Structure 1
Amino acid sequence: MARFAPKHGSRKYVVVLACIALLGVALVADFLWASSSSSSSLNWSNSLDISVDRPRLKPKPDGKKTKETRLPTLDGPNATFADLPGPQLKWEEMAEAPVPRLDGAAIQIKNLLYVFAGYGTIDYVHSHVDIYNFTDNTWGGRFDMPKEMAHSHLGMVTDGRYIYVVTGQYGPQCRGPTARNFVLDTEKKEWHDLPPLPFPRYAPATQLWRGRLHVMGGSKEDRHEPGLDHWSLAVKDGKALEEEWKNEIPIPRGGPHRACVVVNDQLLVIGGQEGDFMAKPGSPIFKCSRRNEVVFSNVYMLDDGSKWKELPPMPKPDSHIEFAWAIVNNSIIIAGGTTEKHPVTKKMVLVGEVFRFDLNSLEWSVVGKLPFRIKTTLVGFWNGWLYFTSGQRDRGPLDPAPKKVIGGMWRTKLSL
């Protein structure tokens, strides 16, 4: 039988096809890696790592080890996304909270910090209150929240005894908000109902001002569309003096995750954003789906009840700061948050600065750096010390994207 040798052209054709196939596999792998990298910090993981990152240790001259806190930096094409210069602060790690929390709430009454609700993971939300004692650095006194009360993105404020809890998101993932409101008597540990809001709101600005409970902005039921509504309710000693909420002058710019402060008989709303994650259409578990967000630095003041006035903006856009503030020596201190997304990676960028708004000069400044970038911090101030606990911290000194939900408590001496 005659044998036929393969032609030279056929061998070249096979080699070319093999090269094209290898190139295609490489391109697909690269695309999948890039997609995973760009979305991992935004979608969270159902198995979110909530362990606490520990500072690296470096040897002392005597052979012992000490904590090393590395300040984060970010190289980027726009200064908006970089850390602003500021003095270094010496931070001490205190007693860790019983559970890690993201998007929880906190209210300080004297030497006690009441810490509410929040995500443990994207699929699990807390429904209880923990109490931190600044005096003896201990956590204790845990008690349950009402079953109908929201689990995250709450509006909250106190008159020194009663804590008013307004609306918020009910359940994990990206479920919508509830219109239910409650009040806690911190002396008796008793809960009572308040009249529901006209419409549910997600993470609204909330404060007590001139005998009325004010609720402003936030997002509407879909979690994404900004609300401009402003309602108020007369309250006293933990009770509503009216059956229905009153319409007030709308806020100039809607949206969630803002600091809301009453000081010197003036109502201020600081920072925040427009837009947020929404539930994926048709998802039975309301799985979170990314949407466009715009973070801003605006500061608005309502000083006569009928007109909003714009004050000097924050040094950089800042959101997720609703419980990240404290009043210190006629200044508003704000710790951490989120700023605009990185222009190249499109990932969320956390904030590592501690900002000060001097109410005498109406000037902003950076008074220091946090031990790491972090959002939704829960802040308190006691006996000259600035404290923060909980939130979601960065991936490391060179990566400002969010990663671990933490429960650590930190403090630094703050003199203004």
Structure 2
Amino acid sequence: MAAEMFRAVPCFSCSLLFLLVLFASLIVQHCSGGDTISWSQSLNGNQTIVSKEGHFELGFFSPGNSKNFYIGIWYKKVSPQTVIWVANREVPISNAASSELKITENGNLALLDHKKAIAWSSKSVLHQANSTEAVILDTGNLILRDSLNSSSIIWQSFDHPTDTWVPGGWLGMNKITGEYQSLTPWKNSEDPAPGPFIDTIDPSGLNQFLLMWNGTEVYWRSGVWNGYSFSETPGMNRDPDYITNFTDDHEKRVITQATSFKDVYIRNMMDTSGQNKQWLWTIETQAWMVVWSQPAACDVYSVCGAFGICDLNSKTLCSCPLGFKPVSAREWDLNDWNSGCTRKTNLPCSNDNSTVAETEGFLEMYITRLPPGSQPLTGLTAEECKQACLKSCYCTALLLWQRMLNMECGSPKH
């Protein structure tokens, strides 16, 4: 009898143990609150991980009124939400609740959408999955490392910045891999996809940084590093609590920044306007302040797009000339002016498409300059310049201004 009872008890206990193990396995499938995503864990919906001292948070977010979702890193203690890094900036997902961020079988960190298709991956070196973990650090760096050897970093977000870099991070070039750490702005406040501007180290080999439009037009240079600062960037390294360094060795050419400030956040970002800005947040002000920016807004190449007018005294910075309208009113509402302006009505051209109707005229504009790449026609009077444009239906814009008593006439290339 005792033997029979002894045999019956383990059967019941086994079933109970199985249920407990099953319940436990369901619990560890998702993680929230800690700083780590381990093998067999994942993030979805409103779940996040937070750095140990509570400075940075990683999870799903949806910018502005957008219905798209992204994996990002933002300041935990700052409101409104300020994102410093985005994983899937070009491949948004539509449903965060049914998507997940997890470590895959090959040891990569990946974002799977609701169809379990990979929307983003770290594309790191293959590693044993059950000994790989993702950790968000108090510097804002997301690292993928060997859980058995925490000093063995497999991949890190600081090697792949988006529009922002923070103290502890770096910008420049890895000489071994040939990879560049550059900044590209969000397209607008609701779309983190890359905009047309870039902040990058000079690919020619000079130890300076360039701001470029469309990868072709350089509109600002930091000046070459002189051992203490960049020659064309005034005010650097004046504060002993915030130091910028530049390293050029056999492995890399990078700029780094370090700060000893407490209760202060500093970030450098490539703004959607094409400016490089440095922002400061303090616990006293509870707000971001711009402490440095280059270049002046209207010195950014094509910041207002084709036929747009940049005016520092305007509330919206960019506007369209009389007879023109924004190509995309929605984008302009989000301060994304890159699409520029277009005519409200087409030019009435002659049948042979060679001349413009005599009823067309010209709008006189002041304090205006032709954009780079224009084709100037010198030595013409104002009337001769007008007639030259009227004779061609392909002359879509004309700017006139007086310089040193010589009239110049030209048509922008875009």
TM-score grouping bracket, smaller chain normalisation: under 0.3
User: Which one scores higher on RCO, CA 8 angstroms, separation ≥ 6?
Assistant: 1
TM normalised by structure 2 equals 0.26
Structure with a larger share of its residues in strand: 1
